[in-house]
Chain A
Amino acid sequence: MLIQSHDEAAGPSRSGRPLETAVAALALRLARVAGPRLGNPVLDRLSQVFARRHPRAAEALAELPAATVLVDPTDLPSGLLLRLGPGGLRLRLCDAAATTADAMVRGRFGALLDLAEGRIDGDALFFRRDLTIAGDTALVVALRNALDGEDIDLLAEIDAAAGPIGRFGPKARQHAAQTAARVAETLSGLRSALLRPEARRLDALERRVARVESRVESREP
């Protein structure tokens, strides 16, 4: 029932928000390392916060018949199993390769994150083969529409689920983003400094070529 992804190294699906993607990926890895006894209560808390902050989507997902959707990020070791239906949304980490579900959504983690937040169009990802779906298509469509109808910020959901500690989340990310920007700026300056002598040589060569061309043209009849 599962469809193989076509090109897992495809560039266009890479998220435009590398820091946020890295933070979310780290959270997923930590939850995996922590194991189900520690990880499951955190995921349950996240589901509760999601239901409180997005009642329209929570209601729509609860109205679906009981079903499971496997979310399989191709660049992470863990998958996420979503249980939908009368009990509301429930999340569990899983081994994607060993898990069967009623439907499956597969793509790069950054693209899946953007899709969940409605920052990218799912059909567009599908058209360019950056997203693979299989199984119950209606279930995937219902899930997509329920999420897309909200203004979701997954990191804000994680902050909210973390309670008082979560208040430090936005500040920490802002600080990290500023640091990352400074590092990028420094690297860019360093690169320019290293390449400056080469650039000078190229300029000199261009000038010489131009002079030669000019001489040749002046000798033509």
Chain B
Amino acid sequence: MAHFELICPAGTPAALRAAVDAGADAVYCGFRDATNARNFPGLNFSVREMAEGIAYAHGRGRKLFIAINTYPTAGNPGPWHQAVDQAASLGADAVILADYGLLDYAARRHPRLKLHLSVQASAANADAVTLYRDVFGVRRVVLPRVLTVPDIARLTAETGVETEVFVFGGLCPMAEGRCSLSSYATGQSPNRQGVCSPASHVRYEPRGTTLVSRLGDFTINRFEDGEPAGYPTLCKGRFVARGQASYLFEEPTSLNAIALLPELKAAGVRALKIEGRQRGKAYIAAVVGAYRQALDSFDRTGRAEVPQLAPTLADVIEGRRDTTGAYTRGWR
């Protein structure tokens, strides 16, 4: 059986080099505009930087995927078409798309360009994945982080499409590509503008020794002295309901499926994805290096070597706690 392919994030050229040097099989990046779902200030690649990044990856036998995974504005598909054209002309190994219209454009205009379905398409069942496969020739689907391992195994077997699953990083518990929480609070969303909880709407406020995080007009959380902090997203907010403050959707915690490598392999998963294009190159190097080590060890022994990796990873994750998320959890 083929080895897992390790797919790693990069928000800057330095992060790309860090990912490749740490052992990524492929790196995914975006152009510096609203065509990708990590359109953060100062992040992402110009066309020239993308060309240099592709040369760096290819020169070391690795791949580069370009995420063009926001939904084009109605009546203005130009920037998204241009991004697909540039990805094709630069020699990207695949483009990661979510929108039907853009998939159609890419399939017709660049029939040799490999198409991956972004997690933003939220294709979470065999019927949806089969449709993308048959109509647009999608070769790989990045699955939403809401499926159990048995769900993934069934979907992979039924569709014959390569499956890529998130194994580490920020945990989005919502229906990705459909979530409007950020839009509700700020008017901007990852689906349209490429930003979830944009930094322009985030404020941190002092309340004695307590740290209060706010998003737009909403208080998201209140961290007591010494309590690990988390991102100011509504889905990980701590709210008062029935007189009690609690995390209603998800706690500030990070996905880490390193212990599930045998199960994911048995489920037929082809590629493992690390989240975090917005993170620094030190994070990229630490996480990619740890996962490279784990995958190499898994290839040799068939076991997931978790304990020796845990301290490295625990130091960089949100809330300083990890979870296997929906992979091992049923609906409640």
A148 CB contact (under 8 Å) in B12, B203, B315, B317? B12
Interface: B230 (CB within 8 A): yes
Q: List 12 A-B contacts (CB under 8 A).
A: A118-B280, A121-B282, A121-B286, A123-B283, A124-B317, A127-B252, A127-B316, A127-B320, A129-B226, A137-B204, A143-B42, A145-B41
Contacts beyond the supplied A141-B42, A148-B280: 6 A-B pairs with Cβ under 8 Å = A122-B280, A132-B211, A134-B205, A137-B203, A137-B204, A141-B40
Interface size in chain B (residues, C-beta < 8 A)? 42
Residue B200 lies at the interface, judged by CB distance under 8 Å to chain A: yes
Contact A138 B223 (CB under 8 A): no
Against B, the Cβ 8 Å flags (1 = close, 0 = not) of A150-166 are 11000000000000000
Residues of A within 8 A of B268 (CB): none
Contacts of B203 in A (CB 8 A): 137
**Which residues on the B side are within 8 Å of A119 (C-beta)?**
282
**Nearest CB on B from A148, distance (A):** 5
Give the contacts of B1-54 with A (CB-CB under 8 A): 11-15, 40-43, 49
With an 8 A cutoff between CB atoms, is A126 at the interface? yes
Known A129-B226, A149-B14; judge A2-B206 contact (CB<8 A): yes
B281 on the A face (CB < 8 A): yes
**Is B279 interfacial (CB 8 A cutoff)?**
yes
Q: Is the CB of A148 within 8 A of B15?
A: yes
Q: How many A-B residue pairs have CB under 8 A?
A: 110
Residue A144 CB within 8 A of the other chain: yes
- For residue A218, CB closer than 8 A to chain B, the reply is no
Q: Is A129 a contact of B282 with CB atoms below 8 Å? A: no
Interchain CB contact under 8 A, B42 and A128: no
Judged by a CB distance under 8 angstroms, whether B199 is at the interface is yes
A3 in the interface (beta carbon within 8 A): yes
CB-based closest 9 A-B pairs:
A145-B42, A149-B12, A142-B41, A121-B283, A138-B199, A142-B42, A138-B200, A124-B316, A137-B202
